[in-house]
């Protein structure tokens, strides 16, 4: 029995439709997500989807909510900074699993409508408030951490330093070695770009954010 034939025999629900759309997005890209393509994925006619989602925009909103609801909350420890690191790592893993969803997050979409999809935000806000920040600073810290993590995942998926294959690194080294003296800093730092390990780089930036947040909270106190 074909996969789509087996799926067509399952009861059609909003959750099933959204999961199918997420599967298409992860495997084929955001541009591939259409009512017709998702209908084919679940083995029904496109019109059947409209009993469960209003339109494509509603479907995309559902993807965002489904991804958020899939956040795996890390086990808490006594150390606040370590809890912050664990939360950031969990969010990075989630975005790595569904990289195309970052484009949806970046757009102004409809309000989140499910409680499950709001829990990760509540988790993050409580964690940041726990550092001793004011509510206003908590909101700003939330955006700073979220922007860093999302930007980092976009950068690492595009390859840190623009490429890591041997041919690219050699071409880059040859170019840098021929630069005039005014590029002193670039010449000095350039060899280390080739050593960029994604996990190490993520932890480096994360540590800077956490230290800055701790310093901010200490000044407020």
Residue 159 sits in the same domain as residue 101? yes
pLDDT value at 164 more than 90: no
Residue 190 maps to a domain = yes
Q: What is the CATH number of the domain that holds 45?
A: 1.10.10.60
| Residue 59 domain-assigned (yes or no) | no
Instruction: Please indicate, yes or no, whether residues 102 and 171 belong to a single structural domain of this protein.
Output: yes
Asked whether residue 184 is assigned to any structural domain, the reply reads: yes
DSSP code of 183?
G
Which whole-number Å values give the CA distances from 61 to 8, 85, 103, 194, in the listed order?
A: 23, 28, 12, 39
Q: Residues 95, 151: one domain?
A: yes
Domain count, the chain: 2
* Cα 166 from Cα 174, distance rounded (Å): 12
- Say what the pTM is: 0.85
Mean local confidence (pLDDT), 110-129: 90
Q: What local confidence, expressed as pLDDT, does residue 53 receive?
A: 96
Per residue in 56-112, pLDDT (tens digit) is: 999 999 999 999 999 999 999 999 999 999 999 999 999 999 999 999 988 866 677
Contact between 41 and 4 (Cβ < 8 Å): yes
200 domain-assigned: yes
Q: Which domain holds residue 211?
A: 80-220
**pLDDT tens for residues 82-91?**
999 999 999 9
| 162 confidence band (pLDDT: 50, 70, 90) | very low
At residue 8 the predicted structure's pLDDT band, cuts being 50, 70 and 90, is: low
Helix H segments across 99-134? Answer: 101-106, 115-129
């Amino acid at each position: 029995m074909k996969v789509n034939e087996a799926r067509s025999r399952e009861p059609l629900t909003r959750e099933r439709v959204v999961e199918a759309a997420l599967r298409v997005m992860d495997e084929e890209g955001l541009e591939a997500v259409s009512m017709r393509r998702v209908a084919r994925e679940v083995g029904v006619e496109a019109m059947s989807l409209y009993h469960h989602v209003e339109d494509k925009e509603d479907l995309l909103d559902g993807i965002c909510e489904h991804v958020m609801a899939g956040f795996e909350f890390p086990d808490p420890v006594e150390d606040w900074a370590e809890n912050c690191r664990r939360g950031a790592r969990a969010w990075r893993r989630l975005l790595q699993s569904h990289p195309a969803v970052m484009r949806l997050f970046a757009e102004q979409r409809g309000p989140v409508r499910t409680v499950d999809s709001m829990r990760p935000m509540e988790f993050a806000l409580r964690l940041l408030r726990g550092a001793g920040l004011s509510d206003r600073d908590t909101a700003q810290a939330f955006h700073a951490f979220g922007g860093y993590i999302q930007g980092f995942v976009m950068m690492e998926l595009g390859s840190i330093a623009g490429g890591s294959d041997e041919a690219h690194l050699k071409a880059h080294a040859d170019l840098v070695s021929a630069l005039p003296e005014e590029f002193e800093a670039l010449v000095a730092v350039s060899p280390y770009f080739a050593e960029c390990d994604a996990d190490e780089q993520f932890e480096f930036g994360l540590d800077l954010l956490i230290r800055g947040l701790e310093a901010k909270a200490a000044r407020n106190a």
